[in-house]
Amino acid sequence: MAQEFVRAPLGVQERITADGSSPWPVEAGRYRLVVARACPWANRTVIVRRLLGLEPVLSMGIAGPLHDERSWRFHNDPGDRDPVLGIEWLRDAYEKAIPGYDKGVTVPAVVEVASGKVVTNAYKELEFDLATQWTAHHREGAPDLFPEAHRDEIEALSEQVFHDVNNGVYKCGFAGSQAAYDRAHEALFARLDALSERLADRRYLVGDTITEADVRLWVTLVRFDAAYHGHFKANRQKLTEMPVLWAYARDLFQTPGFGDTIDFAQIKQHYYGVHRTINPTGIVPRGPLTSGWLTPHGREALGGRPFGDGTPPGPPLESECVPPLT
């Protein structure tokens, strides 16, 4: 077993652009975004799609939280098949794109509906392109998630968050030695401490509005107590024991486009039910309680304009609503 967790490379790193720089043009109705509620990398694209109002032009398929070596499966859909793509296993779309495909079958993945082929699973580039290449289809009042004046700062900060936090919890959970775990655990909480200090007197990570940097950090924070603290042994503290980050996470949870994308039951079903090397019994914990996500956070006092000069997104599509908190 490898001593340190290394994330596998992506297999289909194409781009969907409006400027002619790729073979895949931006086109309403041509593609379907396949995600899973459990996955933080997919959650990033779900949030961006919601904030930008791309639901009418980019449909979304939702794989269930459970899978095996055959890949993500649409086991929550009628007949265990995605209603648009007609497939049971997401692997089918990868193999249509690349016969004999032998890399990771990951979400998010964008599939061309007509051909059934995966176009890209490059989540970072996809988020950027949704924000910068799909502008003709953005809703009125859509926020600027990558403001030009702050792009370098967003990318620099996001790189730190990726290595130490987003991927850091996985480095803790899948460490193959005590030393590897200790290094990952130390780096994770050192970064969380630094982020807590940064956010103590500012509402958002970069500038005074929500940017992609917030999206990238938040998807890990929202899963922290439900999965990473116990399942991945990222347990120096719970999120609820880190006052600044807990308030920041609640602030975003209560912001349209964030909390309305989260299904805690599916998050726990996935992590505890799929990672049998870590949790051999597959038993899914009942807790933690989630009602605290709706309690006052007080961060309005720090100012900031969540959507800049824009407006909040409308309610999610009925078919994309998540269960209420309990």
Q: What does the alpha-carbon distance between residue 326 and residue 51 come to, in Å, rounded to a whole number?
A: 25
Q: With 70 as the cut, is the pLDDT of residue 2 above it?
A: no
In the chain the beta strands, taken as DSSP E runs, fall at 16-17, 24-25, 31-36, 59-63, 67-68, 71-72, 109-112, 117-120
31, 39, 94, 248: which is the annotated catalytic residue?
39
**Mean pLDDT within 71-93:** 96
Contact between 105 and 71 (Cβ < 8 Å):
yes
Is 123 annotated as catalytic?
no
Under CATH, which number does the domain 16-137 receive?
A: 3.40.30.10
Position 68 confidence tier, pLDDT thresholds 50, 70, 90 = confident
Residue 1: its pLDDT value, please? 44
CATH architecture of 150-306: Up-down Bundle (1.20)
Residue 10: its pLDDT value, please? 57
Averaged confidence pLDDT in the chain: 95
Asked if the domains 16-137 and 150-306 are classified in one and the same CATH topology, the answer is no
Contact between 63 and 71 (Cβ < 8 Å):
no
**Mean pLDDT within 119-145:** 96
Burial code of 174-208, b = ≥16 C-beta within 10 A, e = fewer?
A: bbeeeebbebbbebbbebbeebbeebeeebbbbbe
What is the per-residue pLDDT across 296-321, written as a single tens digit (0 to 9) for each? 999 999 999 999 999 999 999 999 99
**Mean pLDDT within 133-139:** 98
Is 172 annotated as catalytic?
no
Amino acid letter at 76?
A: N
Domain spans in the chain, listed from the N-terminal domain onward:
16-137, 150-306
What is the per-residue pLDDT across 3-22, written as a single tens digit (0 to 9) for each? 776 666 656 888 999 988 88
Entry pTM: 0.96
94, 101, 123, 170: which is the annotated catalytic residue?
170
Contact between 55 and 45 (Cβ < 8 Å):
no
Q: With 50 as the cut, is the pLDDT of residue 91 above it?
A: yes
Percent of the chain with pLDDT strictly greater than 70: 97
**Mean pLDDT within 169-176:** 97
